[in-house]
Chains A and B, each alone.
Chain A
Amino acid sequence: MSEATNSQLADQVHPPYLQHHFAEPVQQFEAAKIGMWLFLVTEILLFGGLFVGFAVMHSRYPEAFASAHHHLDRALGALNTVVLLVSSFTMALAVAAARAGKRRALIGCLVLTLTLAGVFLVVKYFEYSHKFHEGLLPGRFYSYKGPSVPGEFMFFSFYFLMTGLHALHVLAGMTAISWLIWRARRGDFSAQYYNPVDLVGLYWHLVDMIWIYLFPLLYLIR
């Protein structure tokens, strides 16, 4: 049998998106899902350290934390919560479009998600620059001149660490979504193969979910 017929035969059994060490697409898809879920677990534990640290310091300086959170703008925080929730919805629509093999709808939903992520970061930028202006900064850079309770800088240490780490994850998500758009335009995805869309979707929902916890914790505590 010649080389060419061999590879044609292999293509029928082994579609191009199927890596050589998997026997069938389902196996590859399930393995990738396990991997992604495990990665999400590590993300939760990464943030978990900060949540525990926040809880410990909050219990130690309750007045300072309660007083410091008044400096945050609830309206902007709420706006960003809505923005991220909607972006999760458009991401879910993107996965559904991918599963149905609708390429234009997939690209449209991904672009929408990317735009909403950008809106989130722009709002965050305005919030940050306001804090910078007031001197509400972490640690040694804290230079707020107005009335304050001792220990407020600790709240801002956590505020910037937690929202900063979250913003980095938003950026990573935007990179991943851009990569999906590029691949979708190239025509890589089909109803049979859309694993990356599904996996990035899972990641994006996690980024959203972490914010769902950060918003009440930082903006709404008493």
Chain B
Amino acid sequence: MQKIEEFGARRGEVPPNYLTASRGWRSWIFTLDHKRIGVMYLWSVLAAFLLGGIFAMLVRLELLSPGKTLMEADQYNRAFTLHGAIMIFLFIIPAIPASLGNFALPIMLGAKDVAFPRLNLASYWIYVIGASMALASMFFGGVDTGWTFYTPYSTATTGPVSLLTLAAFVLGFSSIFTGINFIATIHKLRAPGMSWFKMPLFAWALYATSIIQILATPVLGITLLLIVMERAFRVGIFDPALGGDPVLFQHFFWFYSHPAVYIMILPAMGIISEVIPAFSRKTIFGYKAIAYSSVAIAFISFLVWGHHMFTSGQSPLASAVFSFLTFLVAIPSAIKVFNWVATMYRGSIDLKAPMLYGIMFLLLFAIGGLTGLFLGALSVDVHLHDTYFVVAHFHFVMMGGVTIAFLAGLHYWWPKMFGRLYSEKWARVAALLIFVGFNVTFLPQFLMGSRGMPRRYYNYVAEFQPLHTVSTIGSWILAVGLFLVAAYLLASLRKAPDAPANPWDARGLEWTTPSPPPVHNFDTTPVVTRGPYDYRPQEVVA
């Protein structure tokens, strides 16, 4: 274990790190340092998470009882649209790659920065512009289409739909720029000795993510532009009244938006691949299988979009093919889960906060993934389509999977980012609250969905009230847990820096440099001789 640096003993003697090297707001908003950009992204996506979470709480509160509880039906429609749009476009898509990935990836590769630092900064400010546009749409009356913008409703309804779709279009550029940056960085900036198979699996995951970002996002871009054109000029492509085809919109939309869920989950899986070996004190099981399965998921993700249209009048043959391809996704996903579990087997498991979230991910993602198979099965989907079963499945994967993994990563790299250790005791309490709250919120939704409760409805029949009430109460527990996380993490920033370079005794390159790292990440360029998960005792190897 490395000696803890004596931070703060005498301020003048502490070598400057990336947080203290320069001061003033200009040194932040014009920074080209990937670490600072990652930190700015982190605060931004957390703010988006808070806002999206507030709308989630409002939606759940409205559903506490049938009929009007809190707001009118049209306000409810706007609330769930904003919840979805903010969580998807402002939080989950950039959450892991643009914040944690931006911070950690170059250090994990032993690089000084990403390949295109200016493009990286542009990506952040484009994100800010897109986010401002999305928020502005809230003040111009709000949008009630749902985050999917289905035509012909989205081209006929009033409200600032064009503004919100343009916001998503702009945010797409930010996502593409991050993807381009990561691929070029991984290809060209790895430290000497770091071959492809000595790369951390988080880098593999981000590579696969970037491929999807680059190939799928432009198609969403043109689709959203077509909605704007449809609203402005009535071009007729998606409008059945003019001879257009609204299902064509669904095809275009899901050609992006299904791969997009892998933009969200792949980096989450990358974090889990880092955390599980570090806290099991074991080499990861099946390194190559995990690496290749990320690429496999990226590839298959482009061939499954039709499973969103099983009930939209798609031909039975197309539906059968899409259903089969959808089942294929389960194979690389299961390969990963089995490998993580095998890594833990006979490991020396240390239940620190990141690992708690890692295990939570395994449990919740398994449920989320398996219920996806129900929805991929043609006959079952006819019954479950557009019900709360879909809502529950999606939240198990996106909240139980991605957000929990984001929390795992946040707790894992927090000491590296800010040089502070947080309270493990409170972290455990919060993790328990989040786990209980999450399950109380979303398990009842599986039951409701299988009994026919449709998604997005403002009102419901009385028999669903008990389950809706339980779900709403669960959302309160979940919220308390998340606020607790915010509280102890922010509290840790108020004390003097106390994190050693390697608080977890983990093996990645990012743990060989001080916490927080110096501006250029490493004093001398590291040379890699060992794999990223070599948890054999150091002396034996040396």
**A 1-41 contacts with B by CB, 8 A:** 19-23, 27, 30-32, 34-35, 38-39, 41
Chain A residues, Cβ within 8 Å of B215: 41-42, 45
Q: Contact check, A138 vs B218: say whether CB atoms are below 8 A apart.
A: no
Counting chain A CB atoms within 10 Å of each CB, the highest count among B216, B218, B221 belongs to B218
Chain A residues, Cβ within 8 Å of B244: 57, 154
**A 39-84 contacts with B by CB, 8 A:** 39, 41-43, 45-50, 52-53, 56-57, 60-61
Q: Contact check, A34 vs B229: say whether CB atoms are below 8 A apart.
A: no
Chain B residues, Cβ within 8 Å of A140: 233-234
Least Cβ–Cβ distance between B315 and chain A, in angstroms = 14
Chain B residues, Cβ within 8 Å of A49: 218-219, 221-223, 226, 252
Q: Contact check, B218 vs A45: say whether CB atoms are below 8 A apart.
A: yes
| Other-chain contact of B184, A38, A41, A43, A151 (Cβ < 8 Å) | A38
| Other-chain contact of B181, A20, A35, A43, A53 (Cβ < 8 Å) | A35
Q: Is A161 an interface residue (CB 8 A)?
A: yes
A45/B236 contact (C-beta < 8 A), A34-B184, A34-B188 known: no
A38/B229 contact (C-beta < 8 A), A19-B117, A49-B219 known: no
Q: Is A216 an interface residue (CB 8 A)?
A: no
Total interface residues in chain B, CB < 8 Å: 43
**A 77-133 contacts with B by CB, 8 A:** none
| Other-chain contact of A35, B113, B184, B218, B525 (Cβ < 8 Å) | B184
Q: How far is the CA of A52 from the CA of B237 in the complex (A)?
A: 12
Q: How far is the CA of A31 from the CA of B187 in the complex (A)?
A: 8
Q: Contact check, A38 vs B236: say whether CB atoms are below 8 A apart.
A: no
A42/B217 contact (C-beta < 8 A), A19-B117, A140-B233 known: yes
Chain A residues, Cβ within 8 Å of B50: none
| Other-chain contact of A21, B113, B234, B252 (Cβ < 8 Å) | B113
Q: Is A163 an interface residue (CB 8 A)?
A: no
| Other-chain contact of B236, A48, A56, A154 (Cβ < 8 Å) | A154
Chain A residues, Cβ within 8 Å of B520: 20-21
Q: Contact check, A41 vs B214: say whether CB atoms are below 8 A apart.
A: yes
Q: Contact check, A154 vs B237: say whether CB atoms are below 8 A apart.
A: yes
Q: Contact check, B188 vs A27: say whether CB atoms are below 8 A apart.
A: yes
A31/B189 contact (C-beta < 8 A), A139-B236, A140-B233, A161-B235 known: yes
Q: Contact check, A20 vs B112: say whether CB atoms are below 8 A apart.
A: yes
Q: How far is the CA of A181 from the CA of B233 in the complex (A)?
A: 38
A150 (CB) vs chain B CBs: closest residue: B243
Q: Contact check, B115 vs A35: say whether CB atoms are below 8 A apart.
A: yes
Q: How far is the CA of A107 from the CA of B111 in the complex (A)?
A: 36
Q: Is A178 an interface residue (CB 8 A)?
A: no
The 8 closest A-B CB pairs, nearest first, are A49-B222, A21-B112, A157-B235, A140-B234, A45-B218, A21-B113, A139-B234, A46-B218
Could you jot down 5 A-B contacts, CB within 8 Å? A21-B117, A21-B189, A31-B184, A45-B215, A60-B243
